[in-house]
Amino acid sequence: MNQILPSFPDQPPRVAVVCSAWHRDIVDRARQALLSEFERSRLPAGQVDHFEVPGAFEIPLHAKKLAQSGRYDAIVACGLVVNGGIYRHEFVASAVIDGLMQVQLETGVPVLSAVLTPRDFHEHEDHQRFFGEHFVKKGAEVARACLQTIERMRAIDPAGALR
C-alpha cells in the first residue's frame, strides 16, 4: 500500500491507538511501525491519536470509551501479555481479546489488535530482541489491516463514515 486508500481522498480516517505501558520498550516498537506504515500510506499524522494505559487489561475499557466518543473510524490496541503477576497470562489475553471483540460488535467501530501473548517470555536479551522485532512486523500488519478495514466499512455504509 503506497498511498492512502482510494476511498479516503477527502475524508482521511481518524484512528486511535491504545498501547499498554507494561513492556513499553517492546510495545512501542509496534506503535512506531504502525505510525510508519500509516505515513507510507499517506494517512496524515494528525489523524492518529495515541493513548497509553497501564497494562493490557485496561485496553478494552479505554477502547470502548474511544469508540463511543464517535471521533474514530477505528481503534488499534497494542500490548504484550506475559507470564507472571497475579493473573495467568492466558486469562488476561483472553479477557483483552474478548473485550476488544465485544467493543467493536457493540459500537460498530472496528477494533484491531496487536496485543500479543507469547507462551514463554523472559527478560533476557534474546527475547527482548526477538519480540521487539516481532512487534515491528505486527505493527505494520495491523496498520495495513486497519486501513483496509476502514475502507471496507465505508464501502458498506458510506453515509455512516465518520467526519
d(CA 85, CA 103): 26
**Contact call for residues 84 and 121 (beta carbons, < 8 A):** no
The reported pTM is 0.86
Query: Is 152 a catalytic site residue?
Result: no
DSSP track, 110-131? -EEEEEE--SS--SSHHHHHHH
- Specify if 6 maps to a domain: no
Of 24, 42, 71, 88, which residue is the catalytic one?
88
Could you give the number of structural domains in the chain?
Answer: 1
Predicted pLDDT at 1: 45
**Parent domain of 150:** 15-125+133-156
- Specify if 9 maps to a domain: no
Evaluate the CA torsion angle 116, 122, 128, 130 in order and state its sign.
negative
Predicted pLDDT at 80: 85
- Specify if 102 maps to a domain: yes
- Specify if 24 maps to a domain: yes
Beta strand residue intervals within 61-149, DSSP E: 74-80, 111-116
pLDDT averaged over every residue in the chain: 84
- Specify if 3 maps to a domain: no
- Specify if 8 maps to a domain: no
- Specify if 59 maps to a domain: yes
- Specify if 95 maps to a domain: yes
**Contact call for residues 51 and 12 (beta carbons, < 8 A):** no
Give the CATH number for residue 72. 3.40.50.960
d(CA 56, CA 77): 9
Q: How many Cβ atoms are within 10 Å of 126's Cβ, its own excluded? A: 8
pLDDT at position 21 over 70? yes
pLDDT by residue (tens digit) across 120-129?
A: 655 656 656 6
pLDDT at position 106 over 70? yes
